[in-house]
Amino acid sequence: MTHVRNAAMALVAVLLVVAGVWASWGAAQHVLLAKGREHGTLTVAGCSEERCSGSYVPDDPGAPRRTLAIGRSVAAGPGSVIPVVVKPGTDEGVRAGWGGGLHAWLPLGGALVLAAPLVAGGLRLRRTAWSMAGAGAAVWVGAFLTL
């Protein structure tokens, strides 16, 4: 019976972490694999409930200027200038740099913190659980400080 309980706890913990990676990868891939993608700066003109938009100035002087949207974050308000990477084929940007990378991995950080009690209590791997919780909290703090 112990093996079934351990297998169930491990399965739930792995599912939580995989879901965190899956949720993070949509934005993180553009920040981590930014080579060859369009880079520039976004000057925020206005924000709605979920998105901010404004004028985009590409780093490449030959590329056209246009209006670009980005997911709203607490650190972006009207007048903010944000370095961005443009998602290919869209008019949507992702915050670039350390702040953008950590912000993109926030769902994974949350998944690590949520999985830590399962690993500690269910699998009795306390050191591993503390490491997972610490890594998740480090992503949270790092994103807060870099944005």
The DSSP line for 11-35 is HHHHHHHHHHHHHHHHHHHHHHT-T
DSSP label at residue 71: E
Report the percent of the chain where pLDDT is more than 70.
Answer: 99
Question: Residue for token digits 């944005």?
Answer: 147
Q: Could you list the residue range(s) of the whole structural domain that residue 142 is in? A: 2-31+105-146
Q: Are 16 and 43 within one domain?
A: no
Query: What does the pLDDT look like over 45-75, one tens digit per residue?
Result: 988 888 889 999 999 888 888 899 988 776 6
Q: For residue 100, is it within any domain?
A: no
Rounded to two decimals, the pTM is: 0.85
pLDDT at 75: 66
Query: What does the pLDDT look like over 23-49, one tens digit per residue?
Result: 999 889 998 888 888 999 999 998 888
CATH number, domain containing residue 77: 2.40.50
pLDDT at 146: 87
Q: Are 21 and 50 within one domain?
A: no
